[in-house]
Amino acid sequence: MSEYKNIESALIHGGIYGDEYTKAVNVPIYQTSTYEQNGLGETPKWEYSRTGNPTRAALEALIAELEGGTSGFAFASGMAAITAVLSLFHTGDKILISSNVYGGTFRVLDKIFSNFGIGYSIEDTTNINELEKKITSDVKAILVESPANPLLTVTDLKAVADLAKKHSILSIVDNTFMTPYLQRPIELGVDIVIHSATKYLGGHSDVVAGLVVVNDDELAKKIAFIQNSTGGVLAPFDSFLLIRGIKTLAVRLDRHVENAEKAAYFLKEHKAVKKVYYPGLPDAQGYEINKKQAKNGGVMISFELYENYNIKKFFKSLKLVALAESLGGVESLVCHPATMTHASIPYEIRQKIGITDGLIRLSIGIENIDDILSDIEQAIAESEE
Ligand SMILES: *Cc1c(COP(=O)(O)O)cnc(C)c1O
């Protein structure tokens, strides 16, 4: 057993370390669907890999430890994780969601869970007093992201957790943008944490995965039942890739954040840039709250160019920074929320919540920052009309 006090060490030694049979320092990939049983009626520890697999179990123990929860669960994607959590609810229940949630979260509620009579409403979760007024008797949960996608809106997570407790409903936080290295919602009283581990936890744009962490045994039993019943589990090899990715989370994020802070100031001072959204800038919405609940402003930046810059040309002119969905990998990526990540949100709603057609979202990688910034600089110059 390892001894450590800090998360940098937990990232490497946490959960289940190595292999008890061979003393391999890495958890092996247990590429098996089933396990031989000793005899009838003797309940085995491992019986079938949808129910449990040692590689996946090591990852699940690791994420539970990192988030400070009691149990973790690994799924085949972030959306499979979100779907499992939403499967806790029943016909007639309603969920309040923050106005900038991930487009896919909105879509699964709007187009799938609505078929089962589970409702949702989009609320400004930054205003806790207004949010409380929306908690009618059918509301059973509040689901938020902070910073939220793509305007990096900050919600007070402790206030949401307290509000949910007061009304005996669940608080759910999608912590994808921050990871437990920068923000730990369960320590603030949140009931359920969700991750698209496809992003920073995996970190190398080579695996699609989702994680859920809870801090209550009853809730853990329910999620385990849903995970085994609906079956959207993470494969052993992908579980291995995630464990491998998580080991370097601290060093990657330190560089990501250092680069992001430089990029945010670069954009803020640039004459072509109308507005920058980054929770690490002192004049950003929710700066003080973010500072209280997170280690720093994170990595994601959104910005708008003035109207005399052609954004189609801007995207075409980038050479190092790739136009792509997703975020959180070592390489810098850029996307256009209105036509990409948030295209499933109808135009009118997008306008209302501030996802304009001119908005650009940047996921700053860990390349040399001067190379990233000169690429952005030349693309801005190319796009001027
Ligand atoms: C990407 C993402 C998801 C969805 O995760 P997948 O792994 O793509 O299924 C959910 N929430 C946030 C905040 C995301 O960025």
User: How far apart are alpha carbons 234 and 75 in whole angstroms?
Assistant: 5
Give yes or no: residues 221 and 292 share one domain.
no
- Kindly report the number of other CB atoms within 10 A of residue 324's CB atom: 15
Helices (H), the chain: 7-13, 54-67, 78-86, 103-107, 128-133, 157-166, 179-182, 217-230, 236-247, 249-268, 287-293, 311-317, 347-352, 369-383
| Ligand 1 atom nearest to CA at 79 | 9
Give yes or no: residues 200 and 95 share one domain.
yes
Please enumerate in sequence order all residues whose Cβ is within 8 A of that of 338, keeping only pairs 6 or more positions apart, or say none.
350, 355, 356, 357, 359
- The residues facing 212 across adjacent strands are 73, 194
Domain assignment of residue 198, given as a range: 7-247
Q: How far is CA 199 from CA 45, 78, 167, 176, 230, in A?
A: 31, 9, 33, 7, 24
| Ligand 1 atom nearest to CA at 327 | 15
**Residue 305: predicted pLDDT:** 94
Give yes or no: residues 185 and 263 share one domain.
no
Q: Is residue 272 part of a domain?
A: yes
Which CATH number does the domain housing residue 357 bear? Answer: 3.90.1150.10
Choose one of 209, 232, 247: the last residue of a domain: 247
Q: Is residue 57 part of a domain?
A: yes
**Residue 360: predicted pLDDT:** 96
Give yes or no: residues 135 and 240 share one domain.
yes
Give yes or no: residues 141 and 221 share one domain.
yes
Q: Is the CB of 198 under 6 A from ligand 1?
A: yes
Q: Of 124, 155, 149, which is closest to residue 301 (Cα–Cα)?
A: 149
CA-nearest residue for atom 5, ligand 1, is: 78
Strand pairing category for 359-363 and 300-305: antiparallel
Choose one of 247, 272, 288: the last residue of a domain: 247
Active site residue 199: yes
Which CATH number does the domain housing residue 106 bear? Answer: 3.40.640.10
**Residue 99: predicted pLDDT:** 87
pLDDT tens across the length of the chain (385 residues): 468 999 999 999 999 989 989 999 999 999 999 999 999 988 899 999 999 999 999 999 999 999 999 999 999 999 999 999 999 999 999 999 998 888 899 999 999 999 999 999 999 999 999 999 999 999 999 999 999 988 999 999 999 999 999 999 999 999 999 999 999 999 999 999 999 999 999 999 999 999 999 999 999 999 999 999 999 999 999 999 999 999 999 999 999 999 999 999 999 999 999 999 999 999 999 999 999 999 999 999 999 999 999 999 999 999 999 999 889 999 999 999 989 988 888 888 888 888 888 899 999 999 999 999 999 999 999 999 9
Give yes or no: residues 280 and 378 share one domain.
yes
3-state SS class at 195: strand
Q: Catalytic pick from 30, 102, 278, 309?
A: 102
Q: Is the distance from CB of 179 to CB of 173 less than 8 angstroms?
A: no
Strand pairing category for 139-145 and 94-98: parallel
Q: Is residue 191 part of a domain?
A: yes
Q: Of 242, 236, 245, which is closest to residue 46 (Cα–Cα)?
A: 236
Q: Is residue 2 part of a domain?
A: no
Give yes or no: residues 211 and 264 share one domain.
no
3-state SS class at 355: coil
User: How far apart are alpha carbons 157 and 182 in whole angstroms?
Assistant: 14
Give yes or no: residues 104 and 230 share one domain.
yes
- The residues facing 361 across adjacent strands are 302, 335
| Ligand 1 atom nearest to CA at 80 | 9
- In one-letter notation, the amino acid at residue 355 is I
**Residue 103: predicted pLDDT:** 87
Q: Is residue 31 part of a domain?
A: yes
What's the gap in Å between 218 CA and the centre of ligand 1? 26
Please enumerate in sequence order all residues whose Cβ is within 8 A of that of 41, keeping only pairs 6 or more positions apart, or say none.
none
Strand pairing category for 170-174 and 139-145: parallel
Q: How far is CA 6 from CA 58, 63, 65, 181, in A?
A: 19, 15, 12, 10
Give yes or no: residues 193 and 264 share one domain.
no
Q: Is the CB of 178 under 6 A from ligand 1?
A: no
3-state SS class at 227: helix
Give yes or no: residues 231 and 327 share one domain.
no
**Residue 2: predicted pLDDT:** 66
Active site residue 238: no
Give yes or no: residues 305 and 227 share one domain.
no
Mutate to test the pocket of ligand 1, among 101, 192, 198 (most ligand atoms within 8 A of CB): 198
> How many structural domains compose the chain?
2
Q: Is residue 295 part of a domain?
A: yes
Give yes or no: residues 91 and 189 share one domain.
yes
CA-nearest residue for atom 12, ligand 1, is: 102
Q: Is residue 126 part of a domain?
A: yes
Strand pairing category for 210-214 and 300-305: unpaired
Longest dimension (CA), the chain: 76
Choose one of 247, 262, 289: the last residue of a domain: 247
Q: Is the CB of 102 under 6 A from ligand 1?
A: yes
Q: Is the CB of 75 under 6 A from ligand 1?
A: no
What's the gap in Å between 79 CA and the centre of ligand 1? 6
Q: For 99, which DSSP code?
A: T
Active site residue 50: yes
User: How far apart are alpha carbons 385 and 131 in whole angstroms?
Assistant: 43
CA-nearest residue for atom 6, ligand 1, is: 78
CA-nearest residue for atom 8, ligand 1, is: 78
**Residue 346: predicted pLDDT:** 86
Q: Is residue 1 part of a domain?
A: no
Q: Is the distance from CB of 91 to CB of 114 less than 8 angstroms?
A: no
Active site residue 4: no
